[in-house]
């Protein structure tokens, strides 16, 4: 599992991320209605939230994108979960809020061991970034089985309401992930943050 975990900085890599997302969405049956409702350009999948997101990618040995996630924050459009689902939103301060979405892994790497490895190292990057940006909690709109799977991987989302339709993405739970809890469940992330912060202040 010789992967590289990176924050997407260049436009070239971002375009590869959009191409990868298109591939996953169009090849996954549960996204069929979403695919049918959209008209893609140049075999790329993107939306109004992408310009207000920090994107992360996992690259294989040939520099191909094999997994992605984005952290949306400070979006003037709001967040996908709250724009498509019904739940109590007044619990969270807007300036400390974000949303994680487009958590996609190539089908070739969706076994328990490899998926755990990918999710863990992406979460490490996300935790440091969320701490840096002052994000204390992040929404997620997750399928029931994915909520359970992420808990196994020490990413403990808490449902905010009953399962419901998330636009054309099918039935999901609106959830919240607390940055503090993510660190408590993964103490090595806190160590990584401390090392990163120390480097910035030297």
Digit-coded pLDDT (tens) for 136-168: 999 999 999 999 999 999 999 999 999 998 877
Q: How many CB atoms lie within 10 A of CB 8?
A: 19
Instruction: Evaluate if residue 172 carries a pLDDT over 50.
Output: yes
Tokens 């808990």 found at: 151
Give CA–CA dist 65/202, Å, rounded.
34
Instruction: Evaluate if residue 108 carries a pLDDT over 50.
Output: yes
Give CA–CA dist 103/146, Å, rounded.
10
Burial 186-201 (b: 16+ CB within 10 A, else e): beebbebbeeeeeeee
pTM: 0.92
CATH of domain 4-201: 3.40.630.30
Instruction: Evaluate if residue 78 carries a pLDDT over 70.
Output: yes
* Phi-psi domain of 78 (left: phi exceeds 0; alpha: psi -120 through 50; beta: other): left
The alpha-helical segments, DSSP class H, found in 11-143 are 11-26, 32-36, 80-84, 112-133
């Amino acid at each position: 599992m010789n992967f590289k975990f990176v924050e997407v900085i260049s436009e070239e890599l971002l375009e590869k991320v959009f191409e990868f997302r298109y591939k996953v969405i169009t090849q996954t049956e549960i996204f069929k209605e979403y695919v049918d409702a959209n008209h893609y350009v140049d075999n790329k999948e993107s939306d109004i939230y992408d310009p207000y997101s920090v994107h992360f990618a996992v690259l294989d040995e040939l520099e191909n994108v094999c997994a992605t996630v984005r952290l949306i924050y400070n979006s003037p459009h709001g967040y996908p979960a709250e724009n498509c689902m019904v739940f109590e939103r007044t619990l969270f301060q807007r300036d400390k809020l974000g949303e994680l979405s487009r958590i996609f892994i190539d089908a070739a790497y969706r076994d328990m061991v490899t998926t755990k490895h990918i999710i863990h190292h992406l979460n490490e990057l996300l935790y440091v970034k969320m701490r840096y940006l002052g994000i204390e909690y992040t929404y997620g709109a997750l399928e029931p089985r994915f909520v359970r799977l992420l808990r196994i991987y020490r990413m403990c989302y808490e449902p905010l309401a009953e399962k419901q339709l998330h636009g054309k993405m099918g039935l999901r739970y609106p959830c919240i992930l607390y940055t503090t809890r993510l660190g408590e469940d993964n103490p090595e992330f806190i160590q990584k943050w401390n090392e990163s912060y120390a480097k910035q202040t030297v």
